[in-house]
Structure 1
């Protein structure tokens, strides 16, 4: 592999414009992995920063010819190891392909390159009175290409859906260097299989996405914010179930536990821990009087299960600050030590049970587990926190991580709601999907990646080229 990689890199240096190919060891080290704690990674042979699809085609064609792995990378904010390098691979970073190519207010769509930052697209759309809904907590940094790769969700997906719901079409480099366009730009279309949808969430294992067409929505009505504090995780989970039972579809329903609140307070001194142990942040955006009634109904749900304090926020700046604190929870916890992030999803009515099981797992494995969650759609993010260089604590945390996966599957849930399988959830995917469904996945992989070069070893293990 080392010889093959060297030959490919030399070919790319000759074929691509100056500056596209990087070999500097220190630079390569900074592109070798994403934010997944303890996920293994290798040493890439080179980094390529393409500026157009033709550059990507050159990389794929030459790597496919010699069996050299290719790993696509967005902003590196992933939490499953999906963008981690393999020894001798070529990493393609899309930081220079970051243009919003088109916004069509009549058709309500945008065409973007994969390196566009999520919040930058949302800002560009807002100038036309339009809105791109998917909003992962990493939206200020993560890219649309990375969001598509993992089918990212976010705070408002409880009502408005995830990335797949907004991808109309895309351009990708597949196979041995073929450039294809998948999907459509029309409001309807059922010609052939949904290959664009197949690429969404594929984590770079089926090809390299070079352009994305997304559906947009009109600007939504003003949101009303409902705040509730609870004395336990389970009680907060019961409030989530009560909201679902009442038939309320919030535009956001986020959970932040005492560990996260304390971490944000210690970092930014926001006074979040003064109200109680667990905070639920709800939002409703139905227009007019319906929105008022929806917010009042959510408040009643909070109160019905025993919120220690709850209220509708009347201060827009205060409400925005609370949701900003939700986005700050993960980086605040990272300041305390290594954080192993979970990403399970269970049926909404089983959120209280899953939170109770997480608490038991924390005690049984003597592991500090903090909890944040897109609670409204059952997507929970238990965060295992350890001290630096504490090997026994790391092993306990990893054991707790696997137990949480098992418990989510037991409750009819899934091992990943939005972070992707990557390297950390491969065993969980095997248990969730079963051998027949995994064989279907592998057959698709073989059809679209006959040389076996696209992010090999991620999602499910496939060793080497898939043909001889």
Structure 2
């Protein structure tokens, strides 16, 4: 089968677009998630055109070979992990920005376009593409669409799903499906575009996307507020949102995260504090908004409130937040990054619960969060070479997800399900929900060739 597969793939692809050397293909076997099984692909293909993607899918359907779509493999749930004997379909070579239209305020892009590259390109037209995952310098738009990713600015500007207007999708049998539209409004038929956003490559291969753009906002200013407890910081978040404020970001770092960032980057963050809240505004008068939010933080018990004086100070504070996950990984060498989103009103309960779980399992668990939308990232730090510590890490991870559901939340706010959270998706959806999702999968992919073993 393998030789027939390779021969068939090469019949419709350039010679350098089909990789079969095991030393090379093994490097495409997995994303950045821990505790997620990965197999050995039969081949890795790197198409550059829609027609080449169609050829890959027609070949896979004819030979009944599974296909695992991939972007930059920055995912954190094993959603891009290979299965034994599969074809890994890497879309990183399809990296063209096809159009930027300032009148319609849309961009048309291929899936391999890097998020930061798109942001910089549209900025030249006075526009912005708001979704900004922490890995925005390396992650691709196709991967962002696959996981319905978010970022630091979600609290004001929303997540990827709100910016995808239309898609070109190659289906499992090689047919090309066009969904959505490029108009500002449109409600004709079922919303298949939203169906593909967050489907983790299990329903089709996105080969082109029409994305909504926003006018470039003013330069934002950031405020840092220190708190003697995580509960007080979460109370401040509730007061800010209840007060009708619309920050461009509202981020939280706990004591463990602060110390990890200082250890990695020597940034001089206040290690005596239990929680650091970062709030930003990109309004016409950000200083006034920061002053109002600063007063609310003080009312909630902030021990110190420091507004940045300029864009450079603001960026330094944001850089500390963006380094959080990298810094926590350096604590023990390996991390499991939870992605539990809870109602804002339960954010304090979530952080208190994570602290109890860390004590129970004698583990270091740092929490950074998109506090404005309740999306927490409890990050379990452990030594992967220590079997007992690895076991405790996995058990604590599961207990954190159970806590999130108990608090009325969801197992993933932006990282996706992949392999890591399959069991938990079933718990969240319930048997009827899983049955309906499987029925949708069967309609688009009757032979179950696309990203098998993911989601459910």
Q: TM-score range by the shorter chain?
A: over 0.9
Counterpart of 2:157 in structure 1 is 160
Q: Is the 8 A contact 1:67 1:453 kept in 2?
A: yes
Distance in 1, matches of 2:7 and 2:270, equals: 56
Q: Distance in 1 between matches of 2:317 and 2:73?
A: 26
Distance 1:314 1:143 in 2: 33
Aligned equivalents of 1:259, 1:94: Cα separation in 2: 37
Q: CA RMSD in A?
A: 1.2
Which of 235, 241, 244 does residue 241 from structure 2 map onto?
A: 244
Corresponding position: 1:324 with 2:333: no
SS in 2 for 1:205: coil
Matches within 5 A, 1:58-97: 58-97=55-94
- TM superposition shift of 1:229: 1.1
Asked if residue 438 in structure 1 is aligned to residue 434 in structure 2, the reply is yes
Q: Does 1:373 align with 2:369?
A: yes
Q: Residues 22-66 of structure 1: CA distance to partner in whole angstroms, max 9, x if unpaired?
A: 001111111000000121110011000010011111111111122
Task: State the Cα distance separating 1:233 from its structure 2 match.
Answer: 2.0
Shift of residue 311 of structure 1? Answer: 2.1
Deviations 1:288-333 (A, max 9, x none): 3xx4442222111211111121122113211101101111111122
1:353 partnered with 2:349: yes
Using the size of structure 1 for normalisation, the TM-score is 0.95
**Match for 2:127 among 127, 130, 133?**
130
- Contact 2:259-2:271 at 8 Å conserved across structures: no
Alignment of 1:58-457 (within 5 A): 58-274=55-271, 276-288=273-285, 291-336=286-331, 337-457=333-453
Question: Aligned residues, how many?
Answer: 455
CA–CA distance in 1 between the matches of 2:163 and 2:261? 32
Give the superposition deviation at 1:286: 2.4
Superposed displacement of residue 256, structure 1: 1.3
1:27 equivalent to 2:47? Answer no
CA contact (8 A) 1:229 1:275 kept: no
For residue 207 of structure 1, report the CA deviation from its aligned partner. 0.6
CA separation in 2, counterparts of 1:345 and 1:24?
41
Deviation of 1:238 after TM superposition, in Å, equals 1.7
Counterpart of 1:465 in structure 2 is: none
The separation in 1 between residues aligned to 2:369 and 2:127, in whole angstroms, is 27
CA contact (8 A) 2:228 2:275 kept: yes
Q: Distance in 2 between matches of 1:298 and 1:24?
A: 56
CA contact (8 A) 1:67 1:452 kept: no
CA contact (8 A) 2:221 2:310 kept: no
What does residue range 45-60 of structure 1 map to in structure 2 within 5 Å?
45-60=42-57
* Aligned partners of 1:346 and 1:411 also within 8 Å: yes
- In structure 1, runs of 5+ residues without a counterpart are 461-468
TM-score by length of 2: 0.98
The 3-state SS of whatever aligns with 2:307 is strand
- The question of whether the paired residues in 2 share the 8 Å contact of 1:61 and 1:177 is answered with yes
CA offsets 1:74-125 (integer angstroms, 9 cap, x no match): 1110000000000000001112111111100110000011011101000000
Match runs of 1:29-44 below 5 Å? 29-44=26-41
Q: Which runs of 4+ in 1 moved over 4 A?
A: none
Q: CA deviation at 1:274?
A: 4.6
Partner Cα separation in structure 1 for residue 355 and residue 328 of structure 2: 18
Residue 287 of structure 1: how far off its partner (Å): 2.2
Question: 1: CA distance between counterparts of 2:408 and 2:160?
Answer: 23
Inter-partner Cα distance in structure 2 for 1:141 and 1:273: 30
Distance 1:224 1:325 in 2: 15
- Cα distance in 2 between the residues matched to 1:71 and 1:9: 16
